[in-house]
Amino acid sequence: MASDWERLDRIHIRDLSLRCIIGVYDEERREKQDVVINITLYGDLRKACESDDVADTVDYKTLKKKVIALVEQSSCRLIEHLAEQIAQVCLSDSRVVRAVVCVDKPAALRFARSVAVEIVRAQPTAG
């Protein structure tokens, strides 16, 4: 039987490549570094599917702009903290009942392509 989350529709924002100050060490905080962000937004999109009207859905272009503004101005020490801030931006739209945010930091570890943190957050009433 499908869970409540599996029955919800999804919007994916994939491979949003941005630069920001991120890291705990002094050398990491001197210049902006690359981060790659993936976001999955869960909600009921049936009204938009029927109406074909952007007013009936999550405006992912507007959301992307908010995420870009947040990330490019951020100065987080941890990618966990950055992911949390992004999730809160996503949940500021009440039509988003759940957000999955994955922040990759390429070349964070020697011999590894990247390090990533993925978090799942939901509206307080969504459980």
* Per-residue pLDDT reduced to its tens digit, 48-101: 999 999 999 999 999 999 999 999 999 999 999 999 999 999 999 999 999 999
- pLDDT digits over 25-59, tens only? 999 999 999 999 999 999 999 999 999 999 999 99
Catalytic site positions: 105
71, 73, 76, 80: CA torsion to nearest 10: -20
Structurally, how many domains does the chain consist of? 1
24: containing domain:
4-126
Are 46 and 112 within 8 A, CB to CB?
no
Kindly give, in sequence order, each residue whose CB lies less than 8 Å from that of residue 3, ignoring residues fewer than 6 positions away: none
Using CA atoms, how far residue 33 sits from 13, 66, 84, 124, in Å, is 20, 19, 18, 33
pTM attached to this predicted model: 0.93
Q: Are strands 75-76 and 9-22 parallel, antiparallel or unpaired?
A: parallel
CA distance 76 to 82: 6
- Which CATH number fits the domain that encloses residue 69? 3.30.1130.10
CA distance 51 to 35: 36
